Chains A and B, each alone.
Chain A
Amino acid sequence: MTAILHIDWTSCDGRGLCTELLPGVLDRDDWGYPVARGKSGRERTDVPLRDADREAAQEAVFLCPKLALSLQERVAPAREGRKPGR
């Protein structure tokens, strides 16, 4: 199980509370919007979190002024090349 911080871009207004609460995870672009550090593509919208960041992420979800954040638990995808049951 990994926690994933989902950013709803239609709600996000770049107010910057989440980037303050999760400075190690989220950077801020010139327009104020959060950018996941070192991530690209899908992982900029569904940001995987380390366990240490989970509490701060919950705070961010609670305090986001636009309710644009949500935490999702996701089962880690099975590794390629391993076929279960064989």
Chain B
Amino acid sequence: MWAFGRVSGFISLALFTASVLLGILNRSGRPLLVLPRFSISLLHRNIALVATVFLGLHVGSLLLDSFAKLNPVDIVVPFLGSFQPFWQGLGTVALDLVLAVVVTGLLRHRIGQRTFKAVHWLTYGIWPVAMAHALGNGTDASSGWFLLLAAASAVAVAAALLWRLSPTFLETSTARQGNLP
């Protein structure tokens, strides 16, 4: 259970990273190589859902593990854990927010664009929180391969964020600026 809990945590984080990157790419309105825009949209959603499943496995297995000493309350209320309550609490925060994002994402057509979008902005907060939880709480956080993966993910997300904020982010940005010099 302990090993499984750790591995599922890594997989979940890696998949969420991929989903965030695809989400930013999708927002730009650009296709990726041979992938059309609607495929990126579906891939973004499906990878996020698979990541959520692994997040469930991560929490579920550690809940049953005797070493992690997780309380069912820790799933909902952050910062009450017995082992490193702050770092574990960040995981709880991320879990609760991910659930909110997933539910509003799946009910997008029912709740409307405005509510969906407002909640979806949370992902920009969730990702660093989840990464901090992995670094601060993970028992593998000092191993080289994990640090390498974490650093690569952080660089990728930061680069995507900078690109997101750049004036030429939108596929149609040049046309919409009226080709001004």
Contacts and interface: CB of A to CB of B under 8 A. Distances in A.
Given A30-B175, A31-B172, A16 B113 contact: no
Interface in A1-58: 11, 13-17, 20-21, 30-32
Contact of A20 (B38, B109, B112, B175): B38
A32 B171 contact: yes
A17 B31 CA distance: 10
B113 to A, nearest CB: 5
Nearest to B113: A67
B interface majority secondary structure: helix
Contacts of A15: 29, 37
Contacts of A59: 38
Interface residues of B, number: 17
A67 B112 contact: yes
Contacts of A21: 38
A67 B172 CA distance: 19
Q: Classify chain A's interface size.
A: 10 to 19
A65 to B, nearest CB: 7
Nearest to A32: B172
Interface in B9-56: 26-27, 29, 31, 36-38, 41-42
Nearest to B112: A67
Interface string A45-86: 000000000000001101101110000000000000000000
A71 to B, nearest CB: 12
Contacts of B113: 11, 66-67
A62 B109 contact: yes
B41 A31 contact: no
A83 to B, nearest CB: 42
B123 to A, nearest CB: 15
Contact of A63 (B29, B41, B172): B41
Interface of A: 11, 13-17, 20-21, 30-32, 59-60, 62-63, 65-67
Given A14-B172, A15-B37, A30-B172, 11 more contacts: A11-B113, A17-B41, A20-B31, A20-B38, A21-B38, A31-B176, A63-B41, A65-B26, A65-B27, A67-B112, A67-B113
18 contacts: A11-B113, A13-B29, A14-B29, A15-B29, A16-B29, A17-B37, A17-B41, A20-B31, A20-B37, A30-B175, A31-B175, A32-B172, A32-B176, A60-B38, A66-B113, A67-B108, A67-B109, A67-B113
